[in-house]
Amino acid sequence: MQLYTDAATSPDTQHSAAGILLIEDGQQHQSKQRLPISDNHTAEFLAAIAGFKTLLDEYGPDQSVFFYTDSKIVAESVSKAYSKTFAVELQTLLHLQDQCQVVITQWIPESQNHGAHQLAQQGLHLQA
């Protein structure tokens, strides 16, 4: 199972949206959703949380997951299991990841996260 997440935040309004792309056996499941008003870093954590909630709701626990994010702060925080600034969001994310059999988190450049990025942008424009 592959999970790609991204967040988009409007600097003017602080509205945010998540893009979630799940790929299993070549089949894509795409979703986008509104996020609470926040800064972009918080929105990236909230997008990851939304992605894992979607994965668990759609496919159940005990999945093996390759999780891809273009947020260095999300990837590094998961790797260290620590974040001073985003402790609450990180603990929520780690709790969701613990329900999976194994999670491999990988930071990728934005250019490789195009699907989730487009979904987040679409979700942001739906709020306008």
Q: Please, are residues 96 and 60 in contact by the beta-carbon 8 Å criterion?
A: no
Q: How many domains does the chain have?
A: 1
Q: Which residue has the higher pLDDT, 126 or 91?
A: 91
Which of 88, 44, 36 is closest to 67 using CA atoms?
44
85 pLDDT band, cuts 50/70/90, is very high
Question: 4 falls in which pLDDT band (50, 70, 90)?
Answer: very high
If you average pLDDT over every residue of the chain, what do you get?
Answer: 95
Residue 87 is which amino acid?
Answer: A
pLDDT (0 to 100) of residue 101: 96
Provide, for the chain, the percentages of residues in helix, strand and coil under a 3-state DSSP scheme, each rounded to the nearest 5: 45, 30, 25
CA angle 29, 86, 38 (to 5 degrees): 65
pLDDT in tens, 11-54: 888 899 999 999 999 999 999 999 999 999 999 999 999 999 99
Here the CATH number for the domain that contains residue 91 is 3.30.420.10
pLDDT at position 127, please? Answer: 56
Q: What is the pLDDT of residues 95-112, one digit of tens each?
A: 999 999 999 999 999 999
C-beta of residue 119 within 8 angstroms of C-beta of residue 30: yes
What letter would DSSP give residue 9? E
Domain range enclosing 70: 2-127
Give the integer Cα–Cα distance in Å for 62 and 65. Answer: 9
- 52 compared with 124, residue with greater pLDDT: 52
* Residue 50: per-residue pLDDT: 98
